[in-house]
Structure 1
Amino acid sequence: MAATPATQRVLALDGLPGGWLPEEFVVIPQRGDGLDERLAAAFSDTHRLRPGPIVLIGMDTPQVTPELLSEAGEALAEHDAVYGPAADGGFWLLGLRRPDPELLLGVPMSHPETGKFQLDRLDRAELTVHQLPELIDVDTAADADAVAAQAPASCFAAELRRLGR
Structure 2
Amino acid sequence: MTTVLVIAKEPVAGRVKTRLTPPFTPAEAAALAEASLVDTLRAVAATPADRRVLVLDGAPGAWLPSGVEVVPQCAGGLDERLAAAFAGCTGPTVLIGMDTPQVTPQLLSQALDFDHYDAWLGPAEDGGFWALGLAAPDPSLLLGVPMSTPETGRVQRERLHAAGLRTGHLPVLRDVDTARDAAAVAADVPHGCFGALHTRLTALPARTPR
TM-score for the superposition, normalised by structure 1: 0.93
Query: Could you tell me whether the CA contact under 8 Å between 1:13 and 1:29 is conserved in 2?
Result: yes
Q: Superposition RMSD on alpha carbons, in Å?
A: 1.0
CA distance in 2, matches of 1:162, 1:2: 26
Describe how 1:2-151 pairs up with structure 2 within 5 A. 2-45=45-88, 47=89, 51-74=90-113, 76-151=114-189
CA distance in 1, matches of 2:160, 2:84: 17
| Cα shift readout 1:94-113 (whole Å, capped 9, x = no counterpart) | 01011111100000001111
Identity of aligned residues (%): 62
Structure number with greater Rg is: 2
CA distance in 2, matches of 1:81, 1:69: 13
Partner of 2:28: none
Residue 17 (structure 1) shift: 0.7
Q: State the one-letter code of the partner of 2:106.
A: E
Query: Could you tell me whether the CA contact under 8 Å between 1:90 and 1:115 is conserved in 2?
Result: yes
What is the SS of the residue equivalent to 1:11? strand
Q: Could you list the runs of 4 or more consecutive aligned residues of structure 1 that deviate by over 6 angstroms after TM superposition?
A: none
Query: Could you tell me whether the CA contact under 8 Å between 1:30 and 1:38 is conserved in 2?
Result: yes
Residue 149 (structure 1) shift: 1.6
Q: State the one-letter code of the partner of 2:111.
A: A
What is the SS of the residue equivalent to 1:149? helix
Q: State the one-letter code of the partner of 1:96.
A: L
Query: Could you tell me whether the CA contact under 8 Å between 1:32 and 1:41 is conserved in 2?
Result: no
